[in-house]
Structure 1
Amino acid sequence: MRLTISEFARLVGLAPSALRFYDDCGLLPPAEVDATNGYRYYDKSQQPRAQLLRDLREIDLPLPDVRLALDAAPDEVADIVRSHLRTLEARSTATRTAATRLLTNLLSQQTTAVLGGPELASAIRQVAPTAAPAGQDNLGPALSCVLIELAPDEVTFVATDRYRLAVRTVRPVEFDGAAAQVLVRADELAEVSRWAAAGDVVRVELNGGLVLVRGDESRELRAVDAEYPAYGQILDGLTPPACRVVVDRVGLLDVLAGRDVVAFDIDQESLRIGDEVKLDAIGTGAVRIGFTASLLAAALEVSVGPDVLLEICEPARPVVVRSADQGTFTTLVMPVRLDG
């Protein structure tokens, strides 16, 4: 059954002008063209191809990729779409970063947050060690930095070296100005931790760089111009844990000392390393999982309190390390593949 271009357009959800364009591009030629008047006619069997074309264009897939996808197998089309989504997410992150930087520069009002000195020092001590060591140029300058996001409700400190991610939030005593963010080198930030701890409050000023003011003294840290990883997507992408276990933090640290890679067998009552070590635990679910001992130990060392909570989605996904005594601090640690 032949359909006019208008009829086919209504059937597949495309405008007639779009169908003419896709005919000119060779993506969706009509089944028949009247040689006398040039009218285009389509066959109903073309509906799946036209609807796939419509859906691909709705996600702004470039025409060269659309051309490949239209004649590809479903699993190949899925790979093309996933790759395009990753590109869109990266572009969106870059756009948000650029927009935030632009708004910060345009707004004349200086962003200021007043934080408790001990809280600021604690956040620095917990987050800064997770950043990559300065000088590892292969990782890019952003990973040797701490991202500080200032907003009226909370000031967030973030650091990652791609194997770990640390996030700490501090509620400001006062806030003035627009929400903004800044990247500063982790080693430079760590140097002011003890200085900040000595003050009841520290005023954090963002105006090109980062200025910390304690009484009559101040410390200025230069801003780093680099794009930071989209850590929010990582946190939002975490699935509900299949296994949760609370274990003695210091006892687990002792177990990790001097080891390279450790394999844990975890259930509701214990955390075991083979037959040699068994720690009492409280939890749900069961899993076998491996860690680089030094990475997990680093996360435990900056946690607070006698106990630590491990939330495990699956052995190949980031593990959330939480403290029962401080809900504002979260660390993610990547596990390692175990042989066998």
Structure 2
Amino acid sequence: MDENDALMNIGAFARRVGLAPSALRFYDDCDVLRPAHVDDATGYRYYAADQEPRAVLVRRLREAGMPLTDASVVLDGTREEARAVLEGHAVRARETAASARSAIEEILRDLPGGVHRTAVARLGGAELASAVRQVAPAVASAALREEFPVLGCVLIELDHQEVRLVATDRYRLSVRALRPTSIGPIGPIGGDPCRILVEAAKLKKAACWALRMPEIRIEADEQGVRLHSDTAVRDLPTADGTFPDYRMILDNLPATRHRIITNRTALRAAIAAAGHDGPLTLRADDQQLTLTPRGSAPSTPPAICTGPPLRIAFDPGVLLPALDAGVGPDVLLEISSPSGPVIVRSADQGSFTTLVMPVHDTSADGKG
């Protein structure tokens, strides 16, 4: 049997490798993919089966937008030369895509109605549930929500790097930042984050569902928030209102003058044992922390105290949930003054921050 009988004509080979016959003729003319045999009488091109890998690679390189001069290096150069060309093309492709996206977004902004933005982020389901657990306790009580409904909501904020959950009742502010595994279109580069308000009760129910999912895709736009798993979708309708500018609060915090590091469990136990009959006074002096509940004996849990002597009072009902929301054995209190917001941090989770307002220390009235 003639060896040419084992060859494929250009049409059959084109279908096999996913290239048009016209493209194969072009690659022949460019000396990129020469046929195995050309009939002298008819000029018909024929290809061998062992040419298929090269043809498929040519197709993939062209689909990636690679010029033929660079593609030839990948096809016929050394491994090192091919890697250098591919990496260089990847950098240029990213830069081109970013420029194109910026140009399109600018055009969209000029269209009537502006940009319809949909933000997309992927998170672990357990990670999202943990963030909701930490932040949701900071929403306002039912009585305060009747007057200020927005304080019964959690702000979900997506920008180009993070997903943030924020809640406040005006006496406490909780912020949890999450780093998604991927984050999609947010809108104009450098523009404002996508900000969505969701009722805390609905978000907590959705978090219980998300806890069982390995990964959750968050989609947020003007119509609401949708949580996608591999098999289901949970809708979270948005709430109306203007959420307090928490960034302004954080950016304008006074400089820290006092730092107290103590065991979170011990501090929590001392507060819980004191009850909620009145303010809890904290006194830090000479590396000693003293807790004095109203009407109870003081306690001195181990602590590291830095800064000048300090006396500050808290409502146990406000401080205790802030401690419960943290993780790890230690808690850090950063204090600027006895009357300013106190930052409550966890040494094991820098992405979660709570602000707690102190109260008037009635036990110090009349004392110099």
Q: TM-score, normalised by structure 1?
A: 0.67
What's 1:332 paired with?
355
Give the counterpart of 2:298 among 269, 276, 296.
Answer: 276
The change in CA–CA distance for 1:137 and 1:198 in structure 2 (over 3 A counts) is closer
User: Is 1:162 the equivalent of 2:170?
Assistant: yes
Deviation at 1:108, TM superposition (A): 3.7
What's 2:263 paired with?
248
The change in CA–CA distance for 1:244 and 1:119 in structure 2 (over 3 A counts) is same
AA matched with 1:325: D
Whole-Å separation in 1 of the counterparts to 2:259 and 2:317: 21
What's 1:112 paired with?
120
Q: Report how many residues are paired.
A: 237
AA matched with 2:128: L
5 Å-filtered alignment, 1:220-239, equals 220-239=235-254
Q: TM-score, normalised by structure 2?
A: 0.62
Deviation at 1:110, TM superposition (A): 2.4
Give the counterpart of 1:301 among 320, 324, 348.
Answer: 324
The answer to whether the 8 A contact 1:309-1:324 is kept is yes
Deviation at 1:196, TM superposition (A): 1.1
- 1:35-58: CA deviation from partner (whole Å, max 9, x where unpaired): xxxxxxxxxxxxxxxxxxxxxxxx
SS of equivalent residue, structure 2 residue 267: helix
Deviation at 1:158, TM superposition (A): 0.5
Once the two structures are overlaid, the 10-residue window that deviates more, 256-265 or 290-299, is 256-265
The change in CA–CA distance for 1:268 and 1:169 in structure 2 (over 3 A counts) is farther
- 1:215-250: CA deviation from partner (whole Å, max 9, x where unpaired): 211111110110111111110111111100101101
Whole-Å separation in 2 of the counterparts to 1:264 and 1:293: 11
Give the counterpart of 1:187 among 201, 226, 230.
Answer: 201
CA RMSD of aligned residues (A): 1.7
Deviation at 1:109, TM superposition (A): 5.0
Whole-Å separation in 1 of the counterparts to 2:257 and 2:147: 32
AA matched with 2:199: R
Deviation at 1:135, TM superposition (A): 5.8
Question: Structure 2 regions of 5+ residues with no counterpart?
Answer: 1-110, 187-192
Deviation at 1:164, TM superposition (A): 0.1
Whole-Å separation in 2 of the counterparts to 1:223 and 1:135: 21
SS of equivalent residue, structure 1 residue 200: coil
SS of equivalent residue, structure 2 residue 300: strand
Identity of aligned residues (%): 43
- 1:195-214: CA deviation from partner (whole Å, max 9, x where unpaired): 11211210001131011111
What's 2:155 paired with?
147
The answer to whether the 8 A contact 1:268-1:283 is kept is yes
Whole-Å separation in 2 of the counterparts to 1:262 and 1:240: 24
AA matched with 1:261: P
Structure number with bigger Rg: 2
Question: Structure 1 regions of 5+ residues with no counterpart?
Answer: 1-102
5 Å-filtered alignment, 1:111-130, equals 111-130=119-138
Deviation at 1:117, TM superposition (A): 1.3
The answer to whether the 8 A contact 2:145-2:152 is kept is no
